[in-house]
Chain A
């Protein structure tokens, strides 16, 4: 399972990539694999204020419709417009082209609530047992 070392993770299988004041948000390899072929994603609107762990997006796959929770608090800067036409990017490239949106996070201390790659790997092992 691909778990990049430069990302932060949640127990709900979202990731955040911090670049200065901006965070890229998406779902993990594990999440896309569990969902199966993704057919549609409903994203938040630019400018929307989100609170850590609150609902931010919905992913529909051939199996289910699942909610996505935002790893950090802050304001949505831009959404990945590629996903409306090519939701399969989430399956093909969950950590890069399949990101959901970028946000300006408002509280850096919240990063402490997230897991690093190693902790997430251990977490995945614990839930797959």
Chain B
């Protein structure tokens, strides 16, 4: 598609028509929130501007050896992911708008959905959502519509970013939230059972939780179902290469952040939200769904299906206002998982687990570090340091390491706790050098 910019004449005419003096006059952004980093003197050539920006970009700490996770993980992305997804037939962020004319795209989304179903064990996946947080929100709203109830129990081991999103999105809705505590890494069953009642629409867990702890929620899910509520799990997809799936634990809805499936870490996005549900919830599921069918000649083809849930048909009674998907990121995820295959994906999970266990072992040798072992973990775990974790992180940046996520930023009274993630990318050499440097700064 050609890019046809507006001419100065067009802009002037449009502004005059609506009675606004300048483009700036269209926006009401307080001065302190306006960008102030574009202070490049006028009259510079393209080359000069490129140089200024290149130098500016060098200030980004991109070369650090990364032990930060906290919901977003530094996994290796095979070059084939970029190469396939950047093909011009595919390269768009949008879901196709004449979908049935784009059979290739629909098939790619169909494959993505199949992959999400296989990973989570659930029956139906949609074509994807914006990110892990939106996915939890949509799952919660599904539960509210399905049950007609308005109380939500959230485990405090769910990423604070997501919990904050839930509260912000529902600011003007009459929804009652109850947070249950994490005790020794595990979601408190006692608190859950105390709050679970016939007003509860859903209970939301995260596995592994924000502290890295893995749990089998089967027992909790059973009780949730007895109360007539739905059980929602936010999961880290790579961990599903070796952990029990949400379906095996009885969850009704699984959501998660798909960034770890072939999408680079980049200042918070664009990322990928996935959502999979049991069959009986499919009419409450937001967003697009691609289905496989046969055409009038009996040949296999793909269509958007169950569109009567969506806005363009059902108007104000639509299931959700989501009418697109995160197509390009979903494609990356589909390509990434397909390249690894079933065995490769399991191996990836195992390597993450084993390397994290290796780091735990090394850290246990340091007197000033206490590795928290009350729960099994996947590739991320909590340590208690003899010093403030923020300070330790700052000191280690100077030595070339992003040491982890200081838990005091999200949880009160945890200033000396550090959350450390270890992916398949961390070599033995990096790990030994990291533990050595950590020992020195404590």
CB distance B313 to A64 under 8 Å?
A: yes
Task: Report A-chain residues with C-beta under 8 Å of the C-beta of B148.
Answer: 45
Restricting to A40-88, which residues have a CB under 8 Å from any CB of B?
40, 42, 45, 55, 58, 60, 64-65, 67
Restricting to B108-158, which residues have a CB under 8 Å from any CB of A?
148
Task: Report A-chain residues with C-beta under 8 Å of the C-beta of B283.
Answer: 40, 42
CB distance A58 to B317 under 8 Å?
A: yes
Q: Does B86 contact A (CB under 8 A)?
A: no
Q: Does B92 contact A (CB under 8 A)?
A: no
- The DSSP consensus for interface residues of chain B is helix
Q: Does B314 contact A (CB under 8 A)?
A: yes
Query: Which bracket fits the contact residues of A?
Result: under 10
Most buried by B among A42, A60, A65: A65
CB distance A60 to B308 under 8 Å?
A: yes
- The DSSP consensus for interface residues of chain A is strand
Task: Report B-chain residues with C-beta under 8 Å of the C-beta of A55.
Answer: 317
Task: Report A-chain residues with C-beta under 8 Å of the C-beta of B317.
Answer: 55, 58, 65, 67
A67 to B283 alpha-carbon distance, docked (Å) = 16
Closest to B283 in A: A40
Task: Report A-chain residues with C-beta under 8 Å of the C-beta of B314.
Answer: 58, 65
Task: Report A-chain residues with C-beta under 8 Å of the C-beta of B308.
Answer: 40, 60, 64-65
Closest to B307 in A: A65
A58 to B314 alpha-carbon distance, docked (Å) = 10
A36 to B314 alpha-carbon distance, docked (Å) = 17
Task: Report B-chain residues with C-beta under 8 Å of the C-beta of A67.
Answer: 317
Closest to B309 in A: A65
Task: Report B-chain residues with C-beta under 8 Å of the C-beta of A58.
Answer: 314, 317
A55 to B283 alpha-carbon distance, docked (Å) = 18
Bits for A4-42, please: 1 = Cβ < 8 Å to B, else 0. Answer: 000000000000000000000000000000000000101
A55 to B315 alpha-carbon distance, docked (Å) = 14
Task: Report B-chain residues with C-beta under 8 Å of the C-beta of A65.
Answer: 308, 313-314, 317
A24 to B334 alpha-carbon distance, docked (Å) = 50
Task: Report A-chain residues with C-beta under 8 Å of the C-beta of B313.
Answer: 64-65
Restricting to B293-313, which residues have a CB under 8 Å from any CB of A?
308, 313
A87 to B359 alpha-carbon distance, docked (Å) = 57
A8 to B148 alpha-carbon distance, docked (Å) = 31
Task: Report B-chain residues with C-beta under 8 Å of the C-beta of A40.
Answer: 283, 308
Chain A nearest Cβ from B283, distance in angstroms = 7
Closest to A55 in B: B317
A65 to B314 alpha-carbon distance, docked (Å) = 7
Closest to A45 in B: B148
A42 to B283 alpha-carbon distance, docked (Å) = 9
Closest to B282 in A: A40
Most buried by B among A45, A60, A64: A60
Chain B nearest Cβ from A15, distance in angstroms = 22
Restricting to B242-298, which residues have a CB under 8 Å from any CB of A?
283
Closest to A65 in B: B308
Task: Report B-chain residues with C-beta under 8 Å of the C-beta of A64.
Answer: 308, 313
Chain B nearest Cβ from A43, distance in angstroms = 12
Chain B nearest Cβ from A12, distance in angstroms = 16
Chain A nearest Cβ from B304, distance in angstroms = 14
A40 to B314 alpha-carbon distance, docked (Å) = 14
Restricting to B311-329, which residues have a CB under 8 Å from any CB of A?
313-314, 317
A112 to B317 alpha-carbon distance, docked (Å) = 30
Closest to B308 in A: A65
Additional A-B contacts beyond A58-B314, A64-B313 (7; CB < 8 A): A40-B283, A40-B308, A60-B308, A64-B308, A65-B308, A65-B314, A67-B317
Chosen A-B contacts, 7 in total, with CB atoms closer than 8 Å, are A55-B317, A58-B314, A60-B308, A64-B313, A65-B308, A65-B314, A67-B317
* Chain B residues proximal to chain A, CB less than 8 Å: 148, 283, 308, 313-314, 317
Task: Identify the 9 closest CB pairs spanning chains A and B, nearest first.
Answer: A65-B308, A60-B308, A65-B314, A65-B313, A45-B148, A40-B283, A58-B317, A67-B317, A42-B283
